Amino acid sequence: METGIPAERLATHDIDEREAAAVLKAVEREQADALRYVDGSDGLTTSQIRSCAMQLQAQRGRLALIVVDYSQLLQDSKGNNSTVEDQTLVSRNLKRMARALEVPLLVPVQINRQAGSRGNQRPQLSDIRESGSWEQDADVVIGLYRDELVHPDSEDRGMLELKTKTIRK
C-alpha cells in the first residue's frame, strides 16, 4: 500500500526498477519499526507458546500480536484424544493465553474440503475444519476468498474478499 503499486503486479513481479526500489524501502521501514520473534520448532504445545510469550513480554514489554501458524500442528494432548478433542483443547488454551497476556492472537485454521463442493465457495463458519471450538472461542473469525481461484476468468481478478464475523460473548 505504501508504494501505490497494485497488489496483482506485485504478486506477478511485474514491476520496474524504480518500483522495486520503492518496495525495498517500504519493507526496510516496516522491519525497522517492528521487533519480531519467530519460533519454527515442530510439535509445540500451547503451554510452550505461552511460556515463550510471557518471557518475551517480560523482556520487551507489552506484545502487540501473537500469530500461531498453524493450529492443527499444535499438540496439547498425550495422543489419546481425537483430532476434534485435540483442537478443542488447543483452542481453549490459546484463548486463555491471549486473555492472560492481554494480547491479540491470530490463528489461521483449515477449512473443510467439502467447502469446495458447494456452489458458493466463500468460507462460512461451519467450514472450520476439525472443531467448532475455534468458532466458539474466537472473538472474530475472518474468512478469505479469491474468486479467481474458483473462476479463472473472474472479473474480480486480483481481489481478495474478507468476510468477518464478530462472535458476541
For residues 10 and 40, give the distance between their C-alpha atoms in angstroms, rounded to a whole number: 27
Mean pLDDT value across residues 53-58? 91
Evaluate whether 109 touches 134 at the Cβ level (below 8 Å).
yes
User: What pLDDT, in 10s, does the model give residues 104-152?
Assistant: 999 887 777 777 777 788 888 777 766 567 778 888 888 888 889 888 8
d(CA 169, CA 165): 12
Q: Would you state the pLDDT for residue 130?
A: 62
The DSSP call for residue 165 is E
Closest CA to 82 of 148, 133, 30: 133
Q: Which residue has the cell 474478499?
A: 161
Question: Do residues 77 and 86 lie in contact, with contact meaning Cβ atoms separated by under 8 Å?
Answer: yes
* CATH architecture, domain defined by 35-166: 3-Layer(aba) Sandwich (3.40)
Q: Where along the chain do its domains lie?
A: 1-34, 35-166
